[in-house]
Amino acid sequence: MDESLREQFCKAFNQIIEDRERHLHFWQQKQESGTALEKYRAEQMAEITAGGPIPYEVKELTQAVLQEAWLQENGTVRFIFLSGTADFG
């Protein structure tokens, strides 16, 4: 992963952590009424984000939570996480 993409991933992931309370509601709904995989991913994100902001991209974390990344026309990257959460880097 290129260095600027790593920085953008950290920014997006840390934004989710900053907005964790808002996301917790969504994850709790998935844990209660989602499919088995949605329940697992929601629980995973709730646990991982409880650890606080990340100072740098960690390959294992990225592989565990990232579904895909989309390069936007304006040069930003939209990250889609496996829990269904999305954010821009």
For residue 34, give the DSSP letter. S
Longest dimension (CA), the chain: 38
27 or 2, greater pLDDT:
27
Among candidate residues 46, 78, 48, the one with its CA nearest the CA of residue 63: 48
pLDDT at 1 over 80: no
Bridge partners of 79, per DSSP, are 69, 87
Q: Where are the domains of the chain?
A: 3-88
| pLDDT average, residue stretch 60-82 | 92
Per-residue confidence at 75, pLDDT binned at 50, 70, 90?
confident
Radius of gyration of the chain (CA): 13
pTM, whole model, 2 decimals?
0.87
Among candidate residues 71, 70, 68, 47, the one with its CA nearest the CA of residue 82: 68
